Amino acid sequence: MDGTLGFVGAGNFTEAMVRGLRSAGVDGARIFATTRSRFDRLERLRAAWGIVPVRDKAELVASASTLILAMKPQDLKDVMGELGPLVGDRHLVITVMAGVATTTVERYFNKVPVVRAMPNLPMAVMAAITPLAYGRYATPEHRAAARALFALVGDTVDVSEDLMDATTALSGSGPAYVYLLMEALIDAALQVGFSLDTAKDMAVQTIFGTAKLVKETGADPADLRRRVTSPGGTTAVALAVLEERGFRAALIDAVLRATERAAELGRR
């Protein structure tokens, strides 16, 4: 692929990925974006990150070799009706729409390579995890191009298509679960007397350092948890409250329900 990118959609996903790509050194002149109506967002992306706003989808398809479908799933039929006749074998199409399978996107094209990706919000700071699944026409070259693209904004992992709804629920929605945990820690710190700034600093660094330790050592989280839990100590008492209130079960149920929801969106 020639390194030119075309975003169809200018929402939060596009903004986060553009920020990550520009921070990784990608030239803004090689990033194009279009939207059906939110031209104010296109202008904001241009002003902040130097990308090229495009109002016409034909111009977008002519300008970019990799097209990233970042619109809402419910807009798929209308948008693909416009894109279908324009996209050819020189393109790689990447869909980041929740619940939309590669086979669904392939129906609108003539044997065009399609990759399904589900990066998460930390791509804005080049710390995402992006699961990738590949359509029937994606060659090894296309697969390598998709991995290389998302490696610019974090790590990648190949998964089978049937697991993509689960990855949407786990890693795609996962930052929201961690943000909720962060909010709760901050609220608790405020209740015991810390200032808001101090509470936020402590909560954020605790979560960051904890994840960094697992990432860099490869240690089992359960083993690390046991190491910091002395019998009868403060951590043991706190964990007992969490287990009593169903913390673990609630998180598992949340991921399973989000997986079901992703599948529901796909069926629609």
Q: pLDDT, tens digit, for every residue of 10-19?
A: 999 999 999 9
pTM above 0.85, yes or no: yes
Cα gap 46→230, rounded to integer Å = 53
The pLDDT value given to residue 103:
93
Cα gap 206→182, rounded to integer Å = 9
Spatial CB neighbours of 129, under 8 Å, sequence gap ≥ 6: 119, 120, 122, 154, 155, 156, 157, 171
Sheet hosting strand 5-8, strand order edge to edge = 52-53, 31-34, 5-8, 66-69, 92-95, 114-117, 128-134, 154-158
Q: pLDDT, tens digit, for every residue of 151-177?
A: 999 999 999 999 999 999 999 999 999
Domains and CATH numbers, the chain: 5-160 (3.40.50.720), 174-267 (1.10.3730.10)
Give 134's pLDDT tier (boundaries 50, 70, 90): very high
Range list of β-strands (E), the chain:
5-8, 31-34, 52-53, 66-69, 92-95, 114-117, 128-134, 154-158
Residue 259 has pLDDT above 80, yes or no: yes
Taking only Cα atoms into account, the Rg of the chain, rounded to an integer number of angstroms, comes to: 21
Q: pLDDT, tens digit, for every residue of 94-103?
A: 999 988 899 9
The pLDDT value given to residue 66:
97
* Secondary structure (H, E, C), 15-58: HHHHHHHHHCCCCHHHEEEECCCCHHHHHHHHHHHCCEECCCHH
Residue 118 has pLDDT above 90, yes or no: yes
Averaged pLDDT of the chain: 94
Q: pLDDT, tens digit, for every residue of 191-214?
A: 999 999 999 999 999 999 999 999
Contact in structure between 80 and 47 (CB atoms under 8 Å): no
Report the candidate in 124, 141, 146 with the shortest Cα–Cα distance to residue 67: 146
Torsion sign over Cα 41, 43, 45, 47: negative
The pLDDT value given to residue 39:
82
The pLDDT value given to residue 42:
92
Contact in structure between 33 and 53 (CB atoms under 8 Å): yes
The angle that helices 234-244 and 247-267 make with each other, rounded to 10 degrees, is 40
Torsion sign over Cα 144, 145, 146, 147: positive
The proportion of the chain whose per-residue pLDDT surpasses 70, expressed as a percent, equals 100
Structure tokens at 98: 């929740």
The pLDDT value given to residue 1:
60
The pLDDT value given to residue 73:
83
Task: Find the mean pLDDT for residues 80-107.
Answer: 91
Cα gap 33→6, rounded to integer Å = 5
The position carrying tokens 């990150």 is 49
Cα gap 42→55, rounded to integer Å = 9
* Residue 161 per-residue DSSP state: G
